[in-house]
């Protein structure tokens, strides 16, 4: 069912939005952004109907977490699209194709992660510690600012593609390949799609372990990723220029990642079988349930947005 829904959404996006290049209006972006959010939420009820409330809660917690973490993706997407100087009317296409590429890569990552988790429970120690470190990095970025994000650096894979294949000097409408004088050239259109998809996998190293901290079901992990990422395209046009107002976003994401990191470490201790830790015996530690996880993640997001808006409003008043 999930595969059918995802394919249907991609086809709708290609036929309804991408086939005829245009710059979406604010109304169009708002309507479709709300539609994708509602679809993501409704899918939780589908999970509830076919399985149970526990799995539905795990999916919703994963979806909300992935949706919040995907805001960081948007910062980088803005930088990449600006660096490549993608014409506004072609931005929908590069975003959609880049997101589809990212989904395929994430599916591979999820399947590998699920196989590792099934065989080695101790991997939750690694996931938990990694998320705690990522939370620390988010706090550091929030304190220091995003100076390092002011300039986009091409991923190594994109630089390799440039060296191996001939590339046209500029965009040729929305073509990804161009045939000239018996040679096939790549266009910047294809390069920016590759850049978006390959850059996104770096975010997956944070978000996918975080979702595995909320559910052990690969199906639900991928569903949370799919509905979150597919809604990013219209969200990009809706809040483009507004992201900078979320001044406390890094701190909110740090709190969420730190919370899930602790949750993963507690789970690893509860399932411990490493011989050099407690003689291979599990620890009698409490585990954080899904209702508590949902409450913490939702509450943190609400506080982050409200505090950011109040801070931005106060700064604007001080400047005026």
Q: Which of 5, 57, 24, 36 is nearest to 228 (CA)?
A: 36
Note down pLDDT in tens along the chain; length 320 residues.
788 888 888 888 777 767 777 777 778 888 888 999 999 999 999 999 999 999 999 999 999 988 888 877 777 787 788 778 888 888 888 888 988 988 999 999 899 888 887 777 788 888 889 889 888 888 888 887 655 445 556 556 667 777 788 888 778 887 888 888 788 888 888 888 888 888 887 778 778 888 888 888 999 999 999 999 888 888 887 776 566 677 888 898 889 889 888 988 888 888 888 888 888 888 888 878 878 888 898 899 889 889 988 888 888 888 76
Quote the domain boundaries for residue 97: 2-319
Helix axes 53-83, 290-319, angle to 10 degrees: 30
* 293's tokens: 């996880």
* 191's tokens: 């390069």
Q: Looking at the whole model, is its pTM more than 0.95?
A: no
194: CB partners within 8 A, 6+ apart = 98, 101, 157, 158, 161
Question: Strand, coil or helix: what is 184?
Answer: strand
Q: How many CB atoms are located within 10 Å of the residue 145 CB? A: 11
Q: Among the residues of the chain, which ranges form H helices?
A: 2-13, 26-50, 53-83, 91-119, 123-144, 156-164, 188-212, 218-230, 232-239, 249-270, 290-319
Structural domains of the chain, count: 1
């Amino acid at each position: 069912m999930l595969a059918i829904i995802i394919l249907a959404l991609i086809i709708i996006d290609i036929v309804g939005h991408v086939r005829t290049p245009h710059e979406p209006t604010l109304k169009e972006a708002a309507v479709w952004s709300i539609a994708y959010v509602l679809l993501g939420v409704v899918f939780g009820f589908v999970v509830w109907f076919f399985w149970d409330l526990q799995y539905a809660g795990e999916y919703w917690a994963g979806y909300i977490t992935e949706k919040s973490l995907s805001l960081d993706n948007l910062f980088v997407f803005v930088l990449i699209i600006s660096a490549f100087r993608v014409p506004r009317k072609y931005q929908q296409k590069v975003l959609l194709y880049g997101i589809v590429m990212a989904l395929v890569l994430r599916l591979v990552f999820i399947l590998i992660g699920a196989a590792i988790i099934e065989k080695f429970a101790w991997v939750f120690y690694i996931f938990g510690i990694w998320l705690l470190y990522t939370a620390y990095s988010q706090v550091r970025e929030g304190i220091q600012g995003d100076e390092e994000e002011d300039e986009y650096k091409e991923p190594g894979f994109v630089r390799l593609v440039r060296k191996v294949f001939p590339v046209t000097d500029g965009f040729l409408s929305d073509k990804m390949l161009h045939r000239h004088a018996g040679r096939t050239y790549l266009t910047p259109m294809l390069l920016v799609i590759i850049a978006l998809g390959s850059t996104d996998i770096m975010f997956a190293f944070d978000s996918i372990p975080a979702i595995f901290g909320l559910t052990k079901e690969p199906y639900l992990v991928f569903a949370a990723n799919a509905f979150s990422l597919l809604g990013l395209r219209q969200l990009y046009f809706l809040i483009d220029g507004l992201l900078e107002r979320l001044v406390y976003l890094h701190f909110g994401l740090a709190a969420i990642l730190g919370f899930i990191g602790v949750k993963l470490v507690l789970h690893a201790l509860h399932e411990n079988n490493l011989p050099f830790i407690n003689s291979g015996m599990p620890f009698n530690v409490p585990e954080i349930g899904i209702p508590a996880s949902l409450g913490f993640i939702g509450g943190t997001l609400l506080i982050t947005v409200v505090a950011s808006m109040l801070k931005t409003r106060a700064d604007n008043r001080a400047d005026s």
